[in-house]
Chain A
Amino acid sequence: MAHPASGSKRAWLIAVGVVVFTAVAFLPDWQQRPVPVVVRPLATAYGFASQTVASAVGWVRDTWSHYVAASRLYDANALLQADVDRLASERNALLEVAEENRRLTALLDFRAALPASSHGARVIGRDPSRWYQSVTIDRGSHDAAVTDMGVAVPRGVVGTVVKVFPSVSVVLLITDRQSAVPAIVQRTREQGIIEGTMAGRLRLKYLPPSSEIREGDVILTSGLTASFPKGLMVGTVTRVDRAEGALYPEVEVVPSAALAALEEVLVYELAPAS
């Protein structure tokens, strides 16, 4: 069993030794004096140990700093991500407003470009017979609607009013085989008649045999009837068939207006008789 006094003396001796060693090794005045041969190796060992510890402490401190910085980065990243989400939401809202603005501007420009005045109408039904291609709109004789009025959307011609009731009207679509609208080829300026087919498409007839019409040509209204002003888009040529001996080339046209998804249309007042 160890005596308690011997432990206490040893501690004191160690403490005094450390103080003396530190004073000998690091005090400037003492370093400039000749160091005893015994003290120098100890000082070297201590210095090495100190550097090692300092390096370790520095490493821990750096690691901790990086960890703390990473934690802050994580928080900052979360905040930035929230900002990104908010900005993306705002961007979508702005894009929606821009798109609405573009549509309204197009509609206003479209209406402003028309020589004939027009009125908006809503499509409220399809043909009840299933065999004609027509729609019913919510404008009738109470709204000054009359037969032969032209109906269109900004993308193109829709059809012609064929029946008028007090509050509704029936519009025959241009794709119905009873429909015929005077038209002109935008590029060649050749005139013909756009008729509907049994397949629900369009056919441009009565072009001159020497017509240079080709696929991709744009067909417009010619303005030769009171129903439509000149220059309304009708469709695009998709096929030209020049059969030998035929009186005129067979020209198939795809309507530019989405006739299967009509919701709102413009009804044109009849142009005054010239």
Chain B
Amino acid sequence: MWEGGHGERLDTRLGSRIVWATALIVALPVQASLAPIVSIGNTAPDIPLLVVLFFAFYHGPMASAVAGAAVGTALDLFAAGQGPFYLAAYPALAVLVSAIGRVTATVRALTVGAVVALGSLAIGVGHMVWGPPVEHADELLAWFTAKLASQALYDTALAWTLYVGWVWRHPPPRDGLGERDEFFSARRLQGLIR
């Protein structure tokens, strides 16, 4: 039990880590079970992607890469695709978003919307390229408009909802790169990680 100013900060850090770890762990089951319920047409929010991106907003590149790799590995395991597509895509995206968050110092609504929209589009296009070749141009065009665009819009709308509900009042810290990797550098995890 910590007491005093520094101890209270560590306690908050521990709670934050637990919340983020829980979000990363339950993202896939929530997506698999609840997404069909909240789907609009053929589009449902990409909850694992949103969790990884928001995690990257609040953490450094190293922690974001590890979180992205964990969620990506789980996705590659339980999704129907072949090969480590998400294991490659999610850490790269997370590191990029973490760097953007560090450069912009504090996350704004426009940043959140743009990053999530671009992330959703990137994952969709990457998935399309990763899979079998598309034989019909009209089919590809229809997919871009009906699936990819609607998916990006839905994800962006949900991201803005999260921004209004949480990020706006709890912006990411203006820490440097090393300090922002505190997800792994806090005292309780030092012995395990290092």
Q: What is the interface of chain A, defined by CB distance below 8 A to chain B? A: 124-134, 136, 162-163, 170-172, 176-178, 197-200
Smallest CB separation, A69 vs chain B (Å)? 60
Known: A131-B124, A199-B142. A126 touches B81 (CB 8 A): no
Smallest CB separation, A238 vs chain B (Å)? 15
Interface contacts beyond A129-B127, A163-B80: sample of 10 additional A-B pairs, CB < 8 Å, sorted by A: A126-B33, A126-B36, A127-B32, A130-B31, A132-B81, A163-B78, A176-B80, A178-B132, A198-B128, A198-B134
Residue of A nearest to B81 (CB): A132
Taken residue by residue from 114 to 153, chain B's Cβ proximity to chain A (1 for < 8 Å, 0 otherwise) reads as 0000000001100110011010000110110011000100
Please determine whether A178 and B131 come into contact, CB atoms closer than 8 angstroms: yes
Smallest CB separation, A22 vs chain B (Å)? 95
- Chain A residues contacting B79 (CB-CB under 8 Å) are 127-129, 131-132, 134, 170
- Chain A residues contacting B80 (CB-CB under 8 Å) are 127, 129, 132-134, 162-163, 170-172, 176, 178
Please determine whether A125 and B46 come into contact, CB atoms closer than 8 angstroms: no
Confirm or deny: B86 has a beta carbon within 8 angstroms of a beta carbon on chain A: yes
Residue of A nearest to B120 (CB): A130
Please determine whether A130 and B134 come into contact, CB atoms closer than 8 angstroms: no
The docked-state distance in angstroms from the alpha carbon of A274 to that of B128 is 37
- Chain B residues contacting A128 (CB-CB under 8 Å) are 28-29, 31-32, 35, 48, 74-75, 78-79
Please determine whether A131 and B32 come into contact, CB atoms closer than 8 angstroms: no
- Chain B residues contacting A171 (CB-CB under 8 Å) are 80
In the complex, chain B residues 13-46 whose Cβ is within 8 Å of any chain A Cβ: 28-29, 31-33, 35-36, 42, 44, 46
The docked-state distance in angstroms from the alpha carbon of A107 to that of B75 is 34
- Chain A residues contacting B132 (CB-CB under 8 Å) are 177-178
Contact residue among A126, A176, A197 (Cβ-Cβ distance under 8 Å from B35): A126
Contact residue among A163, A170, A178, A199 (Cβ-Cβ distance under 8 Å from B143): A199
Please determine whether A125 and B127 come into contact, CB atoms closer than 8 angstroms: no
Known: A198-B134, A198-B139, A200-B42. A130 touches B32 (CB 8 A): no
Residue of A nearest to B134 (CB): A198
Known: A125-B32, A170-B80, A178-B131. A130 touches B140 (CB 8 A): no
The docked-state distance in angstroms from the alpha carbon of A39 to that of B113 is 118
Q: What is the interface of chain B, defined by CB distance below 8 A to chain A? A: 28-29, 31-33, 35-36, 42, 44, 46, 48, 74-75, 77-82, 86, 123-124, 127-128, 131-132, 134, 139-140, 142-143, 146-147, 151
The docked-state distance in angstroms from the alpha carbon of A116 to that of B153 is 45
The docked-state distance in angstroms from the alpha carbon of A124 to that of B42 is 18
- Chain A residues contacting B143 (CB-CB under 8 Å) are 198-199
The docked-state distance in angstroms from the alpha carbon of A134 to that of B139 is 20
Residue of A nearest to B140 (CB): A198
Residue of B nearest to A198 (CB): B143
The docked-state distance in angstroms from the alpha carbon of A198 to that of B151 is 14
**A-B residue pairs in contact (CB < 8 Å), sample of 30:** A127-B80, A128-B29, A128-B32, A128-B75, A128-B79, A129-B79, A129-B81, A130-B31, A130-B35, A131-B123, A132-B79, A132-B127, A134-B79, A134-B80, A162-B82, A163-B77, A163-B78, A163-B80, A170-B79, A171-B80, A172-B80, A178-B80, A178-B82, A178-B132, A197-B139, A198-B143, A198-B147, A199-B139, A199-B143, A200-B42
Please determine whether B142 and A198 come into contact, CB atoms closer than 8 angstroms: yes
- Chain A residues contacting B48 (CB-CB under 8 Å) are 128-129
Residue of B nearest to A171 (CB): B80
Smallest CB separation, A239 vs chain B (Å)? 13
The docked-state distance in angstroms from the alpha carbon of A199 to that of B151 is 14
- Chain A residues contacting B139 (CB-CB under 8 Å) are 197-199
Residue of B nearest to A200 (CB): B42
